[in-house]
Amino acid sequence: MSGTRLKSSWVILAIISGACAACNGVFAKLTTTELTSSWSSSISQALGLSPSNKTIEFGIRGLFFGLNLLFNAIMWGLFTRALTLATSTVRVSVINTSSNFMLTAVLGALIFSERLPRLWWLGAALLVAGSVIIGRREEGTKSAVEATTGIEPLLDTDGEGDGFRDHDEREEDMELSTVKDDNEEEGSSDEDAVLK
């Protein structure tokens, strides 16, 4: 995978980590909700057992609890990886939270028959808009700090930043470049004199 594609894959990782967080919440709720009791009752009847069979119910709740832990671990792993690849932690958090929020709403409606009234959609829109504003504000602040402190990104040969140089380091580079240019000019003058 090339460096550029690897650097941009943080978006996908942030979205998937948000989806895992939503699934984590669903499985946590299924661990304790009455809906699981009705599901376990149906499964018990399908297996020819008593509808109030506690072994099946505890087994299903245990499965949901295990899935809760699994999706939590996956979510944190993906989120951490996205943070290491992205240039802005706020962007990762915004995408992760938005993905989590939207998928939680969809899963809540599908699994738990939760209603999503217009007021919920208004609140969701305000939440996403606020997250975007915070993300843009952080970018503006970062640019302003770089401009006022004299710190600029240090670029690799492939054009990707991996550190920062301050004003003094840039001056040293310019001085070395000037000395090198002066030496090259003196060398060419000596060569011209020998040729004549």
- 107 close to 52: Cβ distance less than 8 angstroms: no
Q: What is the pLDDT of residues 108-159, one digit of tens each?
A: 999 999 888 999 889 888 877 877 787 677 666 655 555 555 555 554 455 5
Q: What is the pLDDT of residue 30?
A: 94
Q: Please name every residue paired with 154 in a beta bridge, in sequence order, or none if there are none.
A: 163
- Mean of the per-residue pLDDT values of the chain: 78
Q: Is the pLDDT of residue 88 over 80?
A: yes
- Label residues 9-19 b or e (16+ Cβ within 10 Å = b): ebeebbbbbbb
Dihedral-angle region of residue 64 (phi above 0 means left; psi in -120 to 50 means alpha; beta otherwise) = alpha
Instruction: Give me the pLDDT at residue 9, please.
Output: 87
Q: Which of 11-15, 16-20, 42-46, 138-142 shows the lowest mean pLDDT across its residues?
A: 138-142
Which stretches of the chain are DSSP H helices?
A: 3-8, 10-32, 34-46, 54-85, 89-112, 118-149, 167-195
Whether residue 191 has pLDDT greater than 60:
no
Residue 194 one-letter amino acid: V
Rounded CA-CA distance 18/6 in Å is 19
Q: Looking at the predicted structure, is the pLDDT value of residue 13 above 70?
A: yes
Mean pLDDT along residues 53-78: 95
Report d(CA 189, CA 196) in Å as an integer.
11
Nearest Cα neighbor of 8 from 77, 88, 128, 97 is 88
CB-CB contact of 22 with 96 (8 Å): no
